[in-house]
Amino acid sequence: MNTDISSLTASTLGSASSASSAANSSSTKKTMGLDMDDFLKILAASMSNPSLTGEGGDSSSSGTDYVSQMAQFATLQQLNDMSSTLNTSLLLTQQQQAFNLMGKEVTVLDETNAEHHGLVNQVSFAGGSAMITVDGTQYSLGAIKDVSEPAEN
């Protein structure tokens, strides 16, 4: 049974692409090009067509190779998920810190390292990053040098 590898690969990737297109419509689609379902479809197609491995005969190690590849893929997918979760957590923490600065007296440094003192009177977000406004000028949270309670009058 000698099948044209390029057409078989194209049809396998085509069906994986169809599955991927269906998954794209759901909100749970990962940002990676392939998800675990796509990987398993490609794996099943390559196992049912051993000529795709480039070996003439059956190899006893090919089964463990597939399991190893699947474990590596699952690990990569979990690391990507963890990275996304950590980024979201970092942004939420930064936003909460910015909200807690409202009404506080701060010392901030501008681009020339000049100090400016004033009350934080606004918090805004640019690209998910928190920005504070002091005396009409926006600063990133990294520009803050000191924070204190406002002086009582």
Q: How confident is the model at residue 40 (pLDDT cuts 50, 70, 90)?
A: confident
According to the model, what pLDDT value does residue 54 have? 53
Same domain, 106 and 123: yes
Is 153 domain-assigned? no
Is 74 domain-assigned? yes
Same domain, 85 and 11: yes
Q: Which residues of 45-56 are buried (b: 16+ CB within 10 A; e: fewer)?
A: bbeeeeebeeee
Same domain, 75 and 121: no
Residue 101's domain spans which residues? 97-148
Q: How confident is the model at residue 3 (pLDDT cuts 50, 70, 90)?
A: very low
Same domain, 103 and 144: yes
Same domain, 112 and 76: no
Same domain, 104 and 132: yes
According to the model, what pLDDT value does residue 74 have? 86
Q: How many domains does the chain have?
A: 2
According to the model, what pLDDT value does residue 120 have? 93
Angle between helices 36-48 and 62-100 (to 10 degrees): 170
Same domain, 9 and 65: yes
Same domain, 34 and 66: yes
3-state secondary structure of 151: coil
Same domain, 27 and 76: yes
* 36/54: higher pLDDT: 36
Q: For 84-140, write each residue's pLDDT tens digit.
A: 999 989 888 888 989 999 999 999 999 898 999 999 999 998 887 889 999 899 998
Same domain, 48 and 116: no
According to the model, what pLDDT value does residue 23 have? 41
* Cα gap 134→118, rounded to integer Å: 6
According to the model, what pLDDT value does residue 56 have? 52
Lookup: tokens for 138: 């926006």
Q: Which of 70, 68, 84, 66 is nearest to 30 (CA)?
A: 84
Contact, 120 vs 106, CB < 8 A?
yes
Q: For 41-87, write each residue's pLDDT tens digit.
A: 877 777 777 654 455 555 555 667 777 887 888 898 899 999 999 99
Is 101 domain-assigned? yes
* Cα gap 144→119, rounded to integer Å: 12
Is 82 domain-assigned? yes
Contact, 18 vs 41, CB < 8 A?
no
Is 34 domain-assigned? yes
Residue 7 makes CB contacts below 8 A (sequence gap 6+) with none
Give the CATH number, domain containing residue 101.
2.30.30.30
How much is the average pLDDT of 28-43? 66
